[in-house]
Chains A and B, each alone.
Chain A
Amino acid sequence: MRNLRVLLLGWALHFKMLSRSSFNSVLAILYPGFFATVAFFLYREGSPHALLYASLGASVMGIWGATSTSAGAALQRERWHGTLELLVASPAPFSLVMLPVTLAMSTIGLYSMAATLLWGRLAFGISLHVAHPLLFGLAVVATVMSIGMAGFLLAVTFVRYRTAWALGNLLEYPVWLVCGFLVPISLFPGWVRPISWLLAPTWGMRAIREGATGSGSYVDVAVCAAIGAGYAIIGALVVGRLLQAARERATLALT
């Protein structure tokens, strides 16, 4: 019960902090909007189905972007503000402290998702008819959660390696491609597919599209959630060792 309170309060307060940054909020809407616009132009000559494919893909790009780049930046910000040391020095398990931070980031990504879908509707006339609302809703929740957990796995490595925050930026675009946000995975060489399968957003993306078109099942949602949970478990298992190394090498502070 106590752990749940730490998770919920941590999520609520970090979400509050992220929402209060007007610069970040505008960026969370504008930044994916640019990429979505490019995608809409690329797919404009195709069928309405292709445009919906691009619209949903671009909307999930926003959630991933909000987490992958922000997870590292957030850790660096905690380090810069001196709060990282205070979080580590608290008796709460560090996983329970860090997980709500990245979950709050992926939740902020929902702004991007909504803005992208709205932009598609207003500027390009792409209407989103959700054929299977329950599946669609569950798929969005599972995708947000699993991306938040992927962010958590990244964030725990940033605790140990002071400059690893740049890795988050590096991962943004490859994941867009490999997870099939804009182009089908089937277009890539065969060796790419196992990588795609290991990434939860691949399954989440598929489930969201299937929820919208009404052609899918709950299996993709379950796989997405399971892989996301796997990231969280791996993160929780390695965090102790990484923290120990950070305390040995003095990387918790800024200098």
Chain B
Amino acid sequence: MTSVVEVRDLRRTYRTSTGIIRRRSIEIEAVRGVSFEIAQGELFGLLGPNGAGKTTTIKMLITLLIPTSGTARVLGLDVVKDAQEVRKRIGYVFGGERGLYERLSAYDNLRYFAELYAVPPREQKQRIASLLDLVGLTGREKERVEGYSRGMRQRLHIARGLLHDPPVVFLDEPTIGVDPVGARELRATIASLTQAGKTVLLTTHYMFEADSLCSRIAVINKGQIVAEGTPSDLKSIVADRTVVEIETFGIAEETIDRLRKAPGVTSIAVEERDQAQVLLVQSAKGLELTQTLLAMLDGTTVGRVAAREPTLEDAYVALVDSVEDA
């Protein structure tokens, strides 16, 4: 396997201080010894909850942050010593509405970054046109970005990140906040990157996205990688479990804590869906817990109840919970 990205025991500590008169220094270990490799042409996913260390890891790889210790190489180049050379060879796209010049048109935004990335002047026009076509913004390029929807901005971000045709692309939660149709189009664009021979590192906390796009996934929590493998490998972690989904309305925190301690329950995740809180209760396969759980929910309004096979998301919840419990 030819590794395009090699990360060895990467660590990053943030130092901050609080207080006005008595200033106190605080150290936060955002990334605590992360190691992984990404092969040529692979779409590698880095999954984790908010604050897990995904963005810090990616920022070290794209040379915006210097690691506290450990090493990271991209295409054999050290991200600290050869930062300038790394920058020429990578593309970086992050999610959300930031990262664009609102008062400029999409075309001007792309022209500016094409110049910063030394795209030869003769190629710029053609390159920008083909990228606008790739992300579906042809015909809208002369409009100011301030009038763009979130999905359009995100697609423009992707075009910007690909201007210099980088062999390695880092995508930091690129579909965050994008509507379902827009997100589906973005995922199709992301999938096409590996078909074009690019190596992609994708961070996300949308499990179905990681499941459908990534050839390999690392789950990161509290700055450490807690599991790594193909989506099927990760799903097999919870293959011996079953999941009961219970729709509740206005459930109290104490009730959830009580359910968590119920015999046979391995983990519980709560999903907010409109007015409802859906409990995803994991337990060992073959164990019939539904009646016990419903009895414990006495006094809480309960809606739909269903048992199902575990998904990648359940594997992720189990992995994250195992770190929380440790």
Contacts and interface: CB of A to CB of B under 8 A. Distances in A.
B35 to A, nearest CB: 21
A5 B64 CA distance: 25
Nearest to A97: B116
Nearest to B164: A91
Interface in A177-201: none
Contacts of A89: 62-64, 87, 92
B121 interface: yes
A16 B105 CA distance: 11
A17 B101 contact: yes
B116 A13 contact: no
A90 B87 contact: yes
Interface string A79-103: 0111101111111100001000000
A9 to B, nearest CB: 5
Interface stretch (B106-114, B125-133, B227-235, B314-322): B106-114
A97 B87 CA distance: 15
A81 B98 contact: yes
Interface stretch (A35-43, A54-62, A247-255): A247-255
A9 B94 CA distance: 24
A173 B115 CA distance: 37
A86 B164 CA distance: 14
B84 interface: yes
For B88, B103, B115, the residue with the greatest tally of chain A CB atoms inside 10 Å of its CB is B115
A41 to B, nearest CB: 37
Interface residues of B, number: 31
Nearest to A20: B103
B104 interface: yes
B113 A247 contact: no
Contact of B101 (A6, A13, A88, A91): A13
Interface in B109-149: 111-113, 115-118, 121
A82 B98 contact: yes
A206 B241 CA distance: 82
Given A9-B111, A17-B104, A81-B99, A247 B116 contact: no
A10 interface: yes
Interface in A198-255: 244, 247-250, 252-253
Contacts of B94: 82
A21 interface: yes
Interface string B151-165: 000000000100000
A86 B161 CA distance: 10
Nearest to B92: A89
Contacts of A10: 112, 115
A244 B108 CA distance: 29
Contact of A13 (B14, B63, B84, B108): B108
Contact of A91 (B59, B66, B87, B104): B87
A187 to B, nearest CB: 40
B92 A91 contact: no
A155 B103 CA distance: 21
B104 A247 contact: no
B102 A13 contact: no
B64 A9 contact: no
B63 A247 contact: yes
B100 interface: yes
Interface string A1-16: 0100110011001001
Interface string A100-112: 0000000000000
Contact of B66 (A88, A92, A244): A244
A89 B163 CA distance: 14
6 contacts: A13-B108, A82-B99, A89-B87, A90-B116, A90-B117, A247-B63
